[in-house]
Amino acid sequence: MKKTTTELAGLVARRVPIVCWRKYVGQGNSPLCRNGNSMPESLLPLDRLMATLRTRAAERPEGSYTTKLMNGGAEAIGRKIREEAEELIEAADEPDEAGRQHAIYEAGDLIYHAMVLMAWRGIELDEVAAELARREGTSGLVEKASRPAKKDSGTADS
């Protein structure tokens, strides 16, 4: 892996997959990933959200927006993901800092809804991080070419 640095919570650390953070950041008070490695502080809000979503998936409390989405299954959650993705794309095209801030807001909505789908399906953040780490350093075109062929869904290339 190419050695680069990134600023993280006031520390300079090598750019490494989330599954390796314990080695570089130390354990501190950070929650541990399922594999025993600590999570970077900047990702703690995602970890807390995922914990809440897991609870919602298990308990399905009445009056919860997340429960409503989960009760609708992949179709309902997917509809919201598509909507939020469109809103993010539109916001990203807006000019200046106001457009940038709007894109950040919409990215938060998209990530939230993707995480709802993950919790509904029983997928953990560290599993996704491991998948991204597996792909790291591989050209997107090469990675896509390595996937099994799908039947044509009539949509544009993704």
For residue 75, what is the domain's CATH number?
A: 1.10.287.1080
Confidence (pLDDT) at 14: 34
Q: E-strand spans in 27-146? A: none
Q: Does residue 12 fall inside a structural domain?
A: no
Could you tell me the pLDDT band of residue 155, with boundaries at 50, 70 and 90?
low
Q: Which helix (H) or strand (E) holds 102?
A: helix 96-121
Predicted local distance difference test score (pLDDT) of residue 11: 33
Range(s) of the domain holding residue 125:
43-139
pLDDT at 117: 98
Specify if 100 maps to a domain: yes
- Residue 68 maps to a domain: yes
Amino acid at 74: A
Is the model more confident about 134 or about 109? 109
Secondary-structure breakdown of the chain: helix, strand, coil percentages, each rounded to the nearest 5: 60, 5, 30
With a CB cutoff of 8 Å and minimum separation 6, the contacts of 92 are: 99, 103, 106
Residue 30 lies in a domain: no
Instruction: Name residues whose C-beta falls within 8 Å of residue 33's C-beta, 6 or more positions apart in sequence.
Output: 18, 19, 21, 39, 125, 126, 129
Q: Which pLDDT belongs to residue 142? A: 77
Q: What is the mean pLDDT of residues 116-141?
A: 91
Residue 121 lies in a domain: yes
**97 assigned to some structural domain:** yes
Angle at 125 between CA 146 and CA 57, to 5 degrees: 115
According to the model, what pLDDT value does residue 146 have? Answer: 82
Q: With 70 as the cut, is the pLDDT of residue 19 above it?
A: no
The whole-chain average pLDDT of the chain stands at 80
Q: Measure CA 83 to chain center.
A: 17
Is 22 among the domain residues?
A: no
| Residue 2 within a domain | no
Rounded alpha-carbon distances, angstroms, from residue 17 to 102, 134, 142: 28, 9, 20
The total number of structural domains that make up the chain: 1
pLDDT at 26 over 50: no
- Determine if the pTM surpasses 0.85: no
Give 120-130 pLDDT, tens digit per residue: 999 999 899 89
The most confident of the ranges 11-20, 103-112, 130-139 is 103-112
pLDDT at 116 over 60: yes
Q: Considering all CA atoms of the chain, what is the largest pairwise distance in Å, rounded to the nearest integer?
A: 49
Q: Is 116 exposed, middle or buried (CB count within 10 Å of its CB: 0-12, 13-18, 19+)? A: buried
